[in-house]
Amino acid sequence: MLQEIIKDEIRKLKPILSEYGIELERFLAKGTTSYIFLGTFNNERVIIKYQRPDTPRKTLKREARILEILKGRNITGDLVSYMQLGGRELLIRKYVDGEPLIKALPKKRDILKIAGKAYTLDILGIDHGQIQGGKHIIIGDDVWIIDFEKASTERKPRNLTSAMAMLFLSNNVISRRISDEYRIMEDFRKILRSALREYKISKDIKKVMEVLSTL
């Protein structure tokens, strides 16, 4: 059933996107509110998110606004375009290459980049909302944070503290993998917790980065 729906969506979308110089290549996934496709634009790969017809939730406009704020900051794939087609939202952003953190073992430089980019989101007043799951952090030649559909500029940002909890303080597959690889001891966790408590007050990332640098 889904296969037939996707074929029909591709058939309808392809000629429309081609008018904008975007080539739709293939279906990638069915998201909570959208179908996700891979395409190309100006010889670069792009992600195409098209609102599913069976969901009334419109989240892509909010994501587009946040991607505009983040444009050029090397945190996520830059926004290419946002539009509505027949009342359904369509968002196109640049593709970022890599593997989800939940499946990868981050190097020390990756961990430092995760902290730095989560901190930038905090300073910009953007709360990702799902950063703690590990599915929305991509590890490749660089580190990327993707999928800002549930992000908000209204909530208090907790990106850095959520990311550090996921990596080191919570009991999950990611933290266990990192703990084994880097031989994380309870002393490290205590020092990190202390640095994070200070960060919540001061919003100064320096001590957190100093702790991470000892890995």
Q: What pLDDT, on the 0 to 100 scale, is given for residue 60?
A: 94
Q: What pLDDT, on the 0 to 100 scale, is given for residue 32?
A: 85
**Would you call 158 helix, strand, or coil by DSSP?**
coil
Q: What pTM was estimated for this model as a whole?
A: 0.93
Q: What pLDDT, on the 0 to 100 scale, is given for residue 174?
A: 97
130 pLDDT above the threshold of 80: yes
Mean pLDDT over each residue of the chain, to the nearest integer? 95
57 pLDDT above the threshold of 80: no
50-71: string of b/e by CB count within 10 Å (b at 16+)? Answer: bbbeeeeeebbebbbebbebbe
Q: What pLDDT, on the 0 to 100 scale, is given for residue 25?
A: 94
31 pLDDT above the threshold of 90: no
- Going by their DSSP bridges, the two strands 34-41 and 22-30 should be labelled as antiparallel
> Residue 37 belongs to what H/E stretch?
strand 34-41
Q: What pLDDT, on the 0 to 100 scale, is given for residue 155?
A: 95
Place of tokens 């444009």: 71
- Going by their DSSP bridges, the two strands 88-94 and 44-51 should be labelled as antiparallel
Express each pLDDT in 146-196 by its tens digit: 999 999 999 999 999 999 999 999 999 999 999 999 999 999 999 999 999
- Residue 32 phi/psi, 5-degree rounding, is -65, -40
